[in-house]
Amino acid sequence: MNDQFIGEYRVLRKLGAGGMASVYLATHRDVPNLRTVLKELSDRRLVDRFRREADKLALLDGHRGICQIKHFFEDRGQFYIVMEYIEGPTLEDLICSDQPPTLAETLVIVHAVLSTLEFAHAQGVIHRDIKPTNIMVDRMGQVKVIDFGIAKGAADPDLTQVGTSLGSPRYMAPEQFGAKADVDWARCDIYAVGITLYYLLTHEFPFHGSDLFQMCEAKRTLDPAPPSSLNADVSPALDAFVLKAIAREPADRFASVAQMRLALADAAGQRPDHAVPRPDVTEILRPGSPAAREVPDADGPNGRRTPAPTPLAAPAAPTPPGRTTPAKPRGQRSPRTLAFAAVAVTVVVGALWGILSMRTDRRVAQGGEAAGDRSALPAPALLAPSAGAVANDARVCFRWRPVAGVAGPYTLELASDTDFAAARALSPVAGDSLRLTEPLSPGNWYWRVRAAATASTEAGAWSTTGAFEVASAAGEVAYVNVVIRPTGGRLQVGGAMMGVVDRERVPLPPDRPCTLVATHAKSVEKKLVRVITPRVGSENDIRFEFTPEAAKPSLVTVRIGAIRDGAPTNAAIRLAGGASIGEAPGTFELPAGRHEIVASGTYADGVWEGRQAVTLTAGATPPLVRIEMKRLR
């Protein structure tokens, strides 16, 4: 098969088609190993607009958090923009994976996005389509905002034209649906970041609608539920932060992304009463900290390069009342709850590599095997028991997030000292958990995990050190058998997150009330709570039954234009028998199925209307619907 060339670029494959452009993966004829993205402009009327876009994006050149434009050219009557190719998942990919971002990861990702937008807004450039699919993490861990394809200069006259309220309805601010001349577009970006954070925290959207009109009405009339109602790990401060960002009235939101970024530090510093504080993340985001002072990070036009951060001390595990924690040698790092803590420092200055290292087999790079027959593996991340936890059952259950692509074996070391001088090695361990069959004596314990050596790989790096305490001897414990239906629910016990639980035998401290919270994002109830006072030697069965939420209709993106006297025109768009859903020309999300779309308008020469029947299929290429209008009177 002959290679397909567009200008000097060899097309490798088509990546997709957006609302206004087809997108291809390509390489330059003279630099075959450098992949780029070609945007083919599908409408010649947009060429001038994208010329302006390229000029505006040039103002952002050098910021490592922004996808860069490389070239703009014409080939055989078609116009193309050449953009940087980013190899890595989108934020949407990460959210939908089996290892979605943790709360700490979420805060740092959003902080990086705000830093990038702060830089763009300072150059007078607005994004207008912030959403998880337009946020990526490249292979080196850099958070990047992509597709400034509808980016607008603050003084762009197109911002005031009817039918230019572009964006994705779930993430659009209420005022964006009308596209009035007095819209504060910077606060529309703030709103979109707030919706993105809400989705990251809860895996749900605060507003719902089966069509564009219902979505608009929900945003203009309903008050969103606080994220903590869906995720008990969300603090009151973070609740307030998110709700302020997605306030109905623009004036009630943050005044700027710079203000929003600073407010995130305060929100990150507060946790629910049951949660272990995260001074590492708070330090990163706090204004005035070494990391925060370097944001936004960029090799900007002035040539300034962000220096590497000074490593931050890890948080010490909390000491239970009545007990003391052994003194540690000077300079020794204390145990920390999450392996992400060290990664988070690097994120703020441009590297979220730790997220990818937990999701990508690092033996594969640029489409091939790494050099050599043997390769070291990265470290797994510890999950439970969390740092400072008090284990009421001496037969502790350990859980960790495995290295991507490595089911086992793993080696777990357990010691009563932080130096692991007399460590007890448990190996080989298959999978991602281990429950001890023998009791541990009361006191402080430390543990770490790494992938064991195999015939093809060296032993992996050790995880960070976990710390916990055994507060009761074997036998002084009660058990609860917990079942969550349908599957996919998450369980919190006494404020500690156990993660996704199908059926679990949970040890509890005896003779005192304990709260069990089950959450299920895809249910009607979202959260169910039970309080139990277990007794030593007793077995209690608790079943959480959630009502599955009704399946949401698949939405299909469709572009709608209206034609009057053979020329494009602005027109109100509605579904037959329904209310208005917006204005044409524009891009809409409609449920899959058959619809009759009506375009209408009153003009100087009378009232015009047109109808077009269309069948929308989920997964198909977004159709372009042109509605021919006729004069009624």
Identified catalytic residue from 55, 75, 129, 432: 129
The answer to whether 129 is a known catalytic residue is yes
The yes-or-no answer to whether 5-84 and 555-631 have a common fold is no
| CATH topology (fold) of 555-631 | Immunoglobulin-like (2.60.40)
Residue in the structure block whose two tokens are 């090695």 = 425
Q: How far apart are alpha carbons 294 and 543 in whole angstroms?
A: 50
Q: Which residues neighbour 89 within 8 Å (Cβ) at sequence distance 6 or greater?
A: 97, 136, 137, 356, 359
CATH class for the domain made up of 477-549: mainly beta
Terminal CA-CA length for the chain: 57
> Cis omega before residue 315 (within 30°)?
no
Instruction: Give the start-to-end residue ranges of the domains of the chain.
Output: 5-84, 91-293, 477-549, 555-631
Q: How far apart are alpha carbons 441 and 325 in whole angstroms?
A: 16
Q: Cα angle at 446 between 504 and 512, to 5 degrees?
A: 45
CA–chain centroid gap for 176, Å, is: 23
Q: Which two tokens stand for residue 456?
A: 């093809």
Q: Burial of 371 by CB count in 10 Å (0-12 exposed, 13-18 middle, 19+ buried)? A: exposed
Contact predicate 501/484, CB 8 Å: yes
- DSSP letter at 157 equals G
Report in angstroms the alpha-carbon separations of 276 from 233, 273, 384, 385.
Answer: 10, 8, 13, 12
Residue in the structure block whose two tokens are 């070609």 = 38
Q: Which residues neighbour 28 within 8 Å (Cβ) at sequence distance 6 or greater?
A: 8, 9, 10, 34, 36
| Residues 72-96: tens digit of each pLDDT | 888 887 888 888 888 888 898 888 8
Task: Quote the pTM value.
Answer: 0.49
Q: Burial of 142 by CB count in 10 Å (0-12 exposed, 13-18 middle, 19+ buried)? A: buried
β-pairing, 567-569 with 571-575?
unpaired
The CATH-assigned architecture of domain 5-84 is 2-Layer Sandwich (3.30)
Q: How far apart are alpha carbons 269 and 92 in whole angstroms?
A: 26
Tell me which residues of the chain have a pLDDT lower than 70: 1-2, 17-21, 42-46, 49-57, 149-167, 178-181, 269-376, 386-395, 405, 407, 471-477, 494-499, 538
* Element housing 91 (H / E): helix 91-96
pLDDT value of residue 189: 95
Q: 126 pairs with which residues across the strands? A: 152
The CATH-assigned architecture of domain 91-293 is Orthogonal Bundle (1.10)
- What is the CB neighbour count within 10 angstroms for residue 581? 25
pLDDT value of residue 188: 93
Q: How far apart are alpha carbons 407 and 454 in whole angstroms?
A: 12
Q: How far apart are alpha carbons 92 and 135 in whole angstroms?
A: 8
Contact predicate 401/357, CB 8 Å: no
Q: How far apart are alpha carbons 127 and 181 in whole angstroms?
A: 17
| Residues 39-69: tens digit of each pLDDT | 887 666 567 766 666 666 677 877 889 988 8
Q: Which two tokens stand for residue 29?
A: 């004829």
- Largest pairwise CA distance in the chain: 92
Sign of CA dihedral 502, 507, 508, 511: positive
Residue spans of alpha helices (H) in 450-498: none
What amino acid occupies position 401?
R
Q: Which two tokens stand for residue 386?
A: 């969390």
